[in-house]
Chains A and B, each alone.
Chain A
């Protein structure tokens, strides 16, 4: 692996995830997150060269809805800007690329999505093809349930297994003040929750929340001035699969596996087992199992810790959920994880996904030390 520029996460801020923030419009929420992240770094927007946001106009309910976010991102005097119709975690990848190209040394990444103003399940339905899949009403939960069925049949995973995974997330999540669901639940309790879309119970899927998030990145030259303990990108890769659900094996994630292998290789790790914690964008226990399989992790292992934040089962603000994984690993490795800190954590993996049934996966290996000397 050739030498690349050392790039760090130097700041992260998020609004606590809620079902509906009645007091703030999207731009208010973005401003509060950006203001907080910049304040944490001790700088004004002028210190940031490049900015990039992730959101979907279907959440905003207007074409080019992301353009409104510019008023709350500090882009005056004018800046280089990019928007992705993707979870904001994918923006980190693009900002990292720009830094590798030498285009900028500092970047501000914003995620936003006021999901309560629209109907995310209707939007998720429209994401599918309009001929065969959308008309029958498939949405995020029903495609996740199809995937769960496929996985459980192939592997013999039981309802009780899913309950145990959900319970571990819920127990961890009770320690995270930014979570929407903050009460712990046992596997026994979750097994009693009603079917949502069978084989998924209401206890195995998160409520859709809303938030705004801001993550600040910097190259080696600028990082130490912005953060006392920068968290360095050691490896990063993202891979996407076919859109047609019937065209791929839903019980496996080839894209997560490949992205994981490439990110670990870039980080000079033999595999994901070498890190101390994983933050996985898994919105169901089955997604967590499929991702663990893809990354070669035993889901029952104590180390690496899986989703010490509580994961997406405790907070799923669409378009932000992936960036929060990045932010959580940053918090863990920079001594900012408070009551949910994984002791002695020096390396972690942040994962993000989007599309139905883990269509597109990003894996980012982060560490407390610079990757390249």
Chain B
């Protein structure tokens, strides 16, 4: 009884299992449904007129309701970006690739997205890009309905046009 065990217990395993079932909410639900139809919705601040994508109930900045839904373009300008040179868990893209913050035309805040169909080294601030959607019939109302963004080939946007949307 008082003999030390031959193989002392050094650790115990404790498994956690915490499933979550998130509510989309009326704002996100409308946004996600629109993606199925290749439309991107934002919500407009009732005080400042700023448009937020994805739509939110209120402006964090002005604290006024943002209760008017507006459609923004599925194209815009790269406001900042980074080049990924190391593998990321869950992603099998060829390295290196670019991730960028894209201010969609008509939106006052940026979304974060993957840039493909061009070499990472050519990605730059001011570059015009557009969404590449999943084909008709395959979109299901999910953020994954946009596969990635790619350059449009348009001339770069002047810095003044996006400097306040960084």
| Interface set of A (CB-CB < 8 Å, partner B) | 20-25, 27-28, 31-32, 35, 44-45, 58, 61, 70-72, 74-76, 114, 116-119, 122-123, 126, 130-131, 134-135
* A residues less than 8 Å from B23 (CB atoms): 20-25, 114, 116-117
* B157, chain A: closest CB distance, angstroms: 27
Q: Give the interface size bracket for B toward A.
A: 20 to 34
* Residues 1-49 of B at the A interface (beta carbon under 8 Å): 12, 14, 16-28
Binding stretch for chain A, among B57-65, B85-93, B129-137, B138-146: B57-65
Q: Which residue of B lies closest to A134 (CB)?
A: B14
Please, which residues of chain A bring their CB within 8 A of the CB of B19?
118-119
Closest to B28 in A: A25
Assess whether B57 is in contact with A31, with CB atoms less than 8 Å apart. Answer: yes
Q: Is the interface of B mostly helix, strand, loop or mixed?
A: loop
**Could you pull out 16 A-B pairs where Cβ atoms are within 8 angstroms?**
A23-B23, A23-B25, A23-B26, A24-B26, A25-B24, A28-B57, A35-B58, A61-B20, A61-B22, A70-B60, A71-B60, A72-B57, A116-B21, A117-B20, A123-B18, A135-B14
Q: Give the total number of A-B pairs whose CB atoms are below 8 A apart.
A: 70
Are the CB atoms of B58 and A117 closer together than 8 Å? no
Distance of A58 Cα from B17 Cα, bound (Å) = 12
Query: How distant is the Cα of A41 from the Cα of B21 in the complex, in angstroms?
Result: 35
Name which of B19, B23, B24 has the most chain A CB atoms within 10 A of its CB: B23
Report Cα–Cα, A20/B24, bound state, in Å. Answer: 12
Q: How far is the CA of A114 from the CA of B63 in the complex (A)?
A: 22
Cα-based distance from A116 to B25 in the complex (angstroms): 13
A72 touches B58 (CB 8 A): yes
Could you say which residues of chain A place their CB within 8 Å of the CB of B28? 25
A366 nearest CB across to chain B (Å): 28
Bound-state Cα–Cα, A18 to B66, Å: 25
Q: Other CB < 8 Å A-B pairs besides A22-B23, A45-B63, A130-B12, 9 of them?
A: A25-B22, A25-B24, A28-B25, A76-B63, A116-B23, A117-B23, A119-B18, A126-B16, A126-B18
